[in-house]
Each structure stands twice: as structure tokens, then as C-alpha cells.
């Protein structure tokens, strides 16, 4: 007998829609399969066989995050195939700051109404993010929750596990004055600060399709640009450079995130004139009349990742990152201070 409940459907949950969504997403999940992935969708747990080649003391590194209120932009645009990239990026970019290679990813989608084509579009974005990160999408969950979420809305979160050799975990104890701070450019606002973004532009009331002279696309298109995934460039950098620290610039901007990776007594002195800031940020500051400090304490300001490397290895580090597709550049240096922190000057 096929699984079907008329009573559950009358309560707002159509389990057959869930089955249809799984069938539609299978082709996207298949793109993410790596040699360690075992089995497919449908089990109670995602299986992954850890390859221990080259590992003596493996350390698992995990991370979890969601897309946040950027999803409101996706709802207004009725475009759902990119937010999954954001979801993956927010997790894998965190674990790679330790030097870990992401192995697996799982997603969680909670929605008011399960529309199979929409769920499949979301998962297509998740799969694309996994491909960019080199992680296998080994499972997930879709929860239809009528009465909890509006019919046309959903939430999206994810979870990743990576691995790093214990001796290769990024160690900031060798950080010293004279080290270079390298910027890996962002693709835009990424997935942070959208409560402020929506307040500034009054999103939901103002036309999301409005065009500004400063932007190459509409406001909605610009804001929905997915978060860049830095896993492969950072791992390439770690193979040949004695990286002292890596920071993922998320909510809290420069002032919160860069110090998290600094050694005691080290200050990251950032040259404001060196930054390559996308036009969306000056537009946000102008329209919202936002103080400069708040901009650097909320947004990434065009820098998605910051890496600290020995000054004498800076040129080689830039070469490696550029070969990996990142137009990286030096945005500052490490100087001595009484307390670790950031100065933007």
C-alpha cells in the first residue's frame, strides 16, 4: 500500500508532495557525490566513508548556519535557486578557516506549503554550493509546517562536517608584526546584515525591481547575488604558504570577525584606500545615512575572507590565490598593540 494520509493532507501536510520533491531533487544531489559518499537519498542518515590516506591525527570540524532574512528578498523576487549557495557558503567558509576540507553537507528546509518545484530549486542551489565546496550532499530534511510559516515562505539552514590533520590546523601563535593581511573579495553583501539592508531600502514596500545608477542590475538582483565560496582557494593557499590566520567576514563585519583569528597583542591595520568596495555598500551608506564605523561593523565591505600570511610570502600567496580564481590583494598588515583588534584607517 502506498503512503498517503487524507487526514494529514486535510491538516495542511501533503506527504506525497514531499515524495515528489525528493524525486525532483535527486538529479541535483547526484552532482555532489564524491568518492566517500555511500548510498543515496531516502535513508535515516547520510553515510560517508572517511579516506584516511595522508591523515595521522584527523580532526573533524563542524559548522552550521542559515541564510537569514536574505530569504525575504528571494520571496519578493520569487527566485529560489541561489539561496542554497548562500546556505552552503555560510557553513563551509567557516570550517575552512581552521584549515578543514568540507566532506559532507546536510540541509533543512521548513516551509508553510511544500511546492515540489520550489523545494527542488532550493536544493539545486544547495547542490551547486556543494559542488563549489567539494562536499557531498548526503542528506537533508524538508518539513511542511502549515500554520507556522506562511504558505509562500520557508526557512533554510545547513550543516557541514570537514576534516583537517591536527598538525595542520591553522595556528596563529606565530603571527607577528609585519605579516600581511590579504583580502579575498566578496561578491556583494553575501548573507549578513539583511535586517539593516531591508530597513534602509524599506524592502517589501519599495519596488525590489528598482534600478539605481550605481548598480549594474536591479536592487533585488544585486542583493540576491549568492555568497562566494572560498574553500578551494584557501585550501590551495594552505598547501604552500604558512598561513597564520583566516577570517570569514560575516555579521559583525571587520571589527568582530578579524580579531577572532588574531593572536594576542596583534592588531590588523587595514588601509581603507586599498579596499575594493562594490557599489552596493556606498549606496547602502548613502540611502541609510549609516556611520562609517557601523558599515565596517555590519557588512563585509567587499572582503569575504581575510588571510594573514608572513610578509615575505605575500607575493607568492597572491599568486596562488589568483591562480585559484581569486583576485586577491593586500589590504593591510599586522602591527603590535596592547590588545588584539582592528583599525581601519
| pLDDT tens per residue, range 220-273 | 999 999 999 999 999 999 999 999 999 999 999 999 999 999 999 999 999 999
* Cβ neighbours of 246 (radius 10 Å): 24
- The full DSSP string for 191-225 is TS-HHHHHHHHTBTTB-TT-B-TT-SSBHHHHHTP
Mean pLDDT (10-residue bins), the chain, 345 residues: 61 67 80 86 83 93 97 96 98 98 97 95 97 96 95 97 97 96 98 95 82 94 98 97 98 96 96 97 96 97 98 98 97 95 95
Map residue 285 onto helix, strand or coil.
helix
Q: Buried b vs exposed e over 177-186: b needs ≥16 C-beta within 10 Å?
A: eebbbbbbbb
pLDDT digits (tens, 9 = 90+) for 266-306: 999 999 999 999 999 999 999 999 999 999 999 999 999 99
pTM: 0.94
Angle at 226 between CA 60 and CA 286, to 5 degrees: 120
Amino acid at each position: 500500500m502506498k503512503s498517503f494520509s487524507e487526514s494529514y493532507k486535510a491538516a495542511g501536510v501533503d506527504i506525497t508532495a514531499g515524495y515528489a520533491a525528493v524525486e525532483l531533487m535527486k538529479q541535483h544531489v547526484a552532482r555532489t557525490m564524491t568518492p566517500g559518499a555511500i548510498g543515496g537519498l531516502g535513508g535515516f542518515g547520510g553515510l560517508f566513508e572517511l579516506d584516511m590516506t595522508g591523515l595521522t591525527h584527523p580532526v573533524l570540524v563542524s559548522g552550521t548556519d542559515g541564510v537569514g532574512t536574505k530569504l525575504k528578498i528571494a520571496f519578493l523576487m520569487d527566485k529560489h535557486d541561489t539561496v542554497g549557495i548562500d546556505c552552503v557558503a555560510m557553513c563551509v567558509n567557516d570550517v575552512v578557516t581552521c584549515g578543514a576540507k568540507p566532506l559532507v553537507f546536510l540541509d533543512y528546509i521548513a516551509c508553510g506549503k511544500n511546492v515540489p518545484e520550489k523545494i527542488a530549486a532550493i536544493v539545486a542551489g544547495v547542490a551547486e554550493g556543494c559542488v563549489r565546496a567539494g562536499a557531498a550532499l548526503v542528506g537533508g530534511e524538508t518539513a511542511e509546517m502549515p500554520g507556522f510559516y506562511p504558505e509562500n515562505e520557508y526557512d533554510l539552514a545547513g550543516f557541514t562536517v570537514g576534516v583537517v590533520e591536527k598538525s595542520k590546523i591553522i595556528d596563529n601563535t606565530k603571527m607577528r608584526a609585519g605579516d600581511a593581511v590579504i583580502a579575498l573579495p566578496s561578491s556583494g553583501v553575501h548573507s549578513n546584515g539583511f535586517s539593516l539592508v531591508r530597513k534602509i531600502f524599506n524592502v517589501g514596500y519599495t519596488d525590489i525591481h528598482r534600478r539605481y545608477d550605481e548598480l549594474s542590475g536591479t536592487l533585488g538582483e544585486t542583493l540576491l547575488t549568492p555568497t562566494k565560496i572560498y574553500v578551494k582557494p584557501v585550501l590551495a593557499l594552505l598547501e604552500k604558504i604558512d598561513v597564520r590566520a583566516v577570517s570569514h567576514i560575516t555579521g559583525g563585519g571587520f571589527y568582530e570577525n578579524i580579531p577572532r583569528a588574531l593572536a594576542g597583542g596583534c592588531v590588523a591595520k587595514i588601509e581603507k584606500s586599498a579596499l575594493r568596495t562594490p557599489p552596493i555598500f556606498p549606496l547602502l551608506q548613502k540611502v541609510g545615512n549609516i556611520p562609517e564605523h557601523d558599515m565596517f561593523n555590519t557588512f563585509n565591505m567587499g572582503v569575504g575572507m581575510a588571510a594573514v600570511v608572513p610578509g615575505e610570502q605575500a607575493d607568492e600567496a597572491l599568486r596562488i590565490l589568483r591562480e585559484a580564481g581569486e583576485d586577491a590583494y593586500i589590504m593591510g598588515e599586522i602591527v603590535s598593540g596592547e590588545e588584539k583588534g582592528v583599525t581601519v584607517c
